[in-house]
Amino acid sequence: MPVLPWFGSFWKRLSEQVLSPRVDSAEVEQQLRRAREKLPQPVIWLLGKTQSGKSSLVRALTGSSDAEIGNGFRPCTRTARLYAFPSEEECLVRFLDTRGLGEVNYDPSEDIAHCQRQSHLLIVTVRAMDHALQPVVDAMAAVRKAKRDWPTVVAQTALHEGYSPGASHPQPYPFEADEWEASVPGDFGRSLRRQREEFAGLASRFVPVDFTLPEDELPPQYYGEDALWAAIETELGLGLRALLQPGLHDLYYRKARSHILSSAVAAGGAAALPNPAVSLSLIAAIDAKMFHAIASIYDQRLTARVMGELGSAIGSGFVVRLAGRSLLAMIPVVGTPFAAAYGAATTYALGRTLCWYFAQVRDGVTPAADKIRETFAQEMAEGRRRFREFLKP
């Protein structure tokens, strides 16, 4: 069978999957599981006392609501629980929260054994004015004893508790400079310094942050977010920030975002399979499910007209490029990350373009073909940027 004509039928396959959904066969599910197994699933271990800002940190990094985070954590040991974002089935990152720290007779050995097998980064949260830190120091010492090269970041949280009445956050953010103490005088600065002395030799870096809610009226809401992300990116090197940044901010997209991200990652895993025929069939099935999820969120119908407008506007060029990148997966080691990143970016761009399309329709606008094409091209470039680091081997 000629290669390009077969690949040229991708949009037809996708449209058929969208307009006449079929239950995935056992073979497709098996291949999809294999694809997911190849994906990175970083685990960030959150170590800190209760109310030290762990949930706020997850909210800042993922854009999830407190309700989503509270309902998303699942027990995994007697004293720890795990939160998979955006979903357990197709997650981008997992957060492990230790609940027992600071409680009487807490023994971190079970959590350390669990995390040592899968955790990639340890983030320790301590309130900036808290000095009853011996339980945290002891736990960190036990972690370091088990694995001396474990990347560790201490997030000094709730900074506003050390401010003078009515004071705002120090601007510009001073804590990345060597002489930061000169900009943060008084008891607040001394408290931060004393905490750092207590954790000397146990942490890779310290990052003061203050993550609040809009009703707290203490802008910016995520003070120190850039510094925290810089520390995470330095320690992990996965490009997580580019992947998790929300981008569009309307209510509908916030609901659709997790479907787009998880579908894109699954498509990246499928694109990395060495058989292009199998990988493109999987990508079509993944994209079809994502399309239906987005249509449901926007309360819109997926019709032959909608699929025809999108297909004709986007054009066959992307199909040919997708085919070429899928062929790269047949080249061991070298080609796999390129194929995976391109497959993920394509699904990401299709999902974001569909969100934009439905948003236009809801506003009573009929999207023009050139604007659909322009939007898809922009989202494709953004998708490649976001997934390039994450899907490296």
Comparison of pLDDT for 234 and 238, the residue scoring more: 234
**Which is it for the CA torsion 128, 129, 131, 135, positive or negative?**
negative
43-57, 70-84, 254-268: which is most confident: 43-57
Is the separation of the CB atoms in 48 and 99 below 8 Å? no
Please compute the mean of the pLDDT values over residues 108-122 and round it to a whole number. Answer: 76
Under the banding of pLDDT at 50, 70 and 90, the label for residue 332 is very low
- DSSP E strand stretches across the chain: 43-48, 74-77, 80-85, 93-98, 121-127, 152-157, 205-208, 210-211, 222-223
* 132-191 tens-digit pLDDT: 998 889 888 888 888 777 889 999 999 999 998 888 999 999 999 888 988 887 889 999
Is the separation of the CB atoms in 77 and 97 below 8 Å? no
Six-digit token pair at 85? 């974002």
Is the separation of the CB atoms in 5 and 252 below 8 Å? no
* 273-315 tens-digit pLDDT: 766 666 777 888 888 888 998 999 999 999 989 988 888 888 6
Under the banding of pLDDT at 50, 70 and 90, the label for residue 78 is confident
Task: Tell me what pLDDT residue 148 has.
Answer: 79
Please compute the mean of the pLDDT values over residues 108-114 and round it to a whole number. Answer: 76
b/e code 375-389 from CB counts within 10 Å (16+ = b):
bbeebbebbbebbbb
Please compute the mean of the pLDDT values over residues 78-89 and round it to a whole number. Answer: 79
Q: Is the pLDDT of residue 92 over 80?
A: no
Under the banding of pLDDT at 50, 70 and 90, the label for residue 198 is very high
Under the banding of pLDDT at 50, 70 and 90, the label for residue 7 is very low
Six-digit token pair at 13? 């396959």
Task: Tell me what pLDDT residue 248 has.
Answer: 47
